[in-house]
Amino acid sequence: MAKPIIFGGSRGKVLAVKIAKLTGFELGEVIVKSFPDGETYIRFMNDVKGRDVILVNSVHHKPNDILVELLFEIETLKDLGAKRVIGVIPYFAYARQDTRFNPGEVVSFEIVARMLERAGLDEIYTVDLHLHRVRDISEIFKIPAYNLTAVRDLVKYVSKHYKLEKPLIIGPDEEAEQWAKIAAETLGVDYDVLEKKRISAEEVVIEARTANVRGRDVIIVDDIISTGGTMAEAVKALKGLGARSVVATCTHALLVGEALYKILRAGAEGIVASDTIPSPVSYVSVAPIIANALMRRVGKE
Ligand code: R5P
């Protein structure tokens, strides 16, 4: 049986190469171009007939364009005879719109999941999916779905590269407790979460009523840094309460506008992210955790 083949879409090329090296799966080539009018052109350069195909693409920075690209890619791979199309979508956009907050709103998370399944996706692997009101990835996908985490590697990196005495893990809001818990277990330390009130897409207010952070080296753990508002406010609150140092970590560094500047200016000693979205602070690669997960299940039968 032919080995599985990996393609990196326009937001997944580097990760695809790293995953191919770690798994020993073949690296294929897909050409993705935009026509002058903005339409998308895609061509797969390898024969996929009868093979398991792994498609790597993160949905960020022009997420709607990448979603269309993914839909075209999945359906075409099926049309070209792929046995299974396995999506590796390290950053999955739209997960934060998981309910109708106001009457008439689109619940995009649900719709995006259905679109990918209808296009023919057979299985999906993602990393630190923003699960809040939807508690488990299996509640949103009908196909086999695996939610991996970069949190262990992020905090191990911080613990190795920063001088931390008695570190404490902090989640900037209640939703971040899931990641704070994993981080605390990994380092064998305590954790706590702050209280966040969102005023607008760019503005949040953070309260740190219970956290006892005086003299502690704090690692903040969150899934996403978008505008940096949450992280910057959390850093300010923790420093205000007497934290000795604060390092900000996240899995997905969307880093809109001046996010990095805001967080550093707020007093963070450093910012550490993974490469689900390549960025200047993507010090930790998710390629090994994705490769391990794929090797356990793909190309076995
Ligand atoms: C929200 O619930 C997420 O977990 C992040 O805290 C949030 O998306 C970060 O956004 P921003 O950087 O714009 O504050």
Position 300 confidence tier, pLDDT thresholds 50, 70, 90: low
Residues 15 and 113 in one domain: yes
Atom from ligand 1 closest to the CA of residue 198? 14
DSSP single-letter state for residue 95: T
Atom from ligand 1 closest to the CA of residue 259? 12
Residues 51 and 160 in one domain: no
In the chain, the percentage of residues whose pLDDT exceeds 90 is 90
Residues 140 and 188 in one domain: no
pLDDT higher than 90, residue 36 = yes
Residues 135 and 195 in one domain: no
Ligand 1 proximity of 230 Cβ (cutoff 6 Å):
yes
Ligand 1 mean position to 200 CA, how many Å?
Answer: 11
Residues 160 and 270 in one domain: yes
User: Nearest C-alpha to atom 8 of ligand 1 is from which residue?
Assistant: 224
Summarised one tens digit per residue, pLDDT across range 47-88 is 999 999 999 999 999 999 999 999 999 999 999 999 999 999
**Beta strands at 26-27 and 52-56: parallel, antiparallel or unpaired:** unpaired
* Distance (Å, whole) CA 194 – CA 201: 19
Ligand 1 proximity of 204 Cβ (cutoff 6 Å):
yes
Sequence-ordered list of residues with C-beta below 8 angstroms from that of 216, at least 6 positions apart, any chain: 166, 167, 168, 243, 244
Residues 191 and 66 in one domain: no
Sequence-ordered list of residues with C-beta below 8 angstroms from that of 37, at least 6 positions apart, any chain: none
Summarised one tens digit per residue, pLDDT across range 122-164 is 999 999 999 999 989 999 999 999 999 999 999 999 999 999 9
Catalytic residue status for 196: yes
The CATH number assigned to the domain holding 238 equals 3.40.50.2020
> Within its chain, how far is the Cα of 109 from the centroid?
14
Atom from ligand 1 closest to the CA of residue 132? 2
Rounded to the nearest 10 degrees, how much is the dihedral formed by the CA atoms of 204, 224, 106, 206? -20
Helices (H), the chain: 13-23, 63-79, 108-119, 151-161, 177-187, 229-240, 259-265, 287-297
Give the pLDDT of residue 170.
97
pLDDT, average across residues 224-243: 96
> Are residues 231 and 222 in contact, defined by beta-carbon separation less than 8 angstroms?
yes
DSSP single-letter state for residue 142: S
Q: Return the best residue to mutate from 195, 199, 223, 236 for the ligand 1 pocket (most ligand atoms within 8 A of CB).
A: 223
Q: In 92-190, which ranges are E strands?
A: 123-127, 145-148, 167-171
Sequence-ordered list of residues with C-beta below 8 angstroms from that of 102, at least 6 positions apart, any chain: none
How many domains, in total, are found in the chain?
Answer: 2
Residues 56 and 145 in one domain: yes
Give the pLDDT of residue 204.
85
Ligand 1 proximity of 227 Cβ (cutoff 6 Å):
yes
> Are residues 125 and 92 in contact, defined by beta-carbon separation less than 8 angstroms?
no
pLDDT higher than 90, residue 201 = no
Q: What are phi and psi of 214, to 5 degrees?
A: -55, 125
What is the value of pTM for the model shown? 0.95
pLDDT higher than 70, residue 182 = yes
Residues 97 and 162 in one domain: no
In the chain, the percentage of residues whose pLDDT exceeds 70 is 98
State the residue range of the domain holding 207: 151-284
> Are residues 5 and 49 in contact, defined by beta-carbon separation less than 8 angstroms?
no
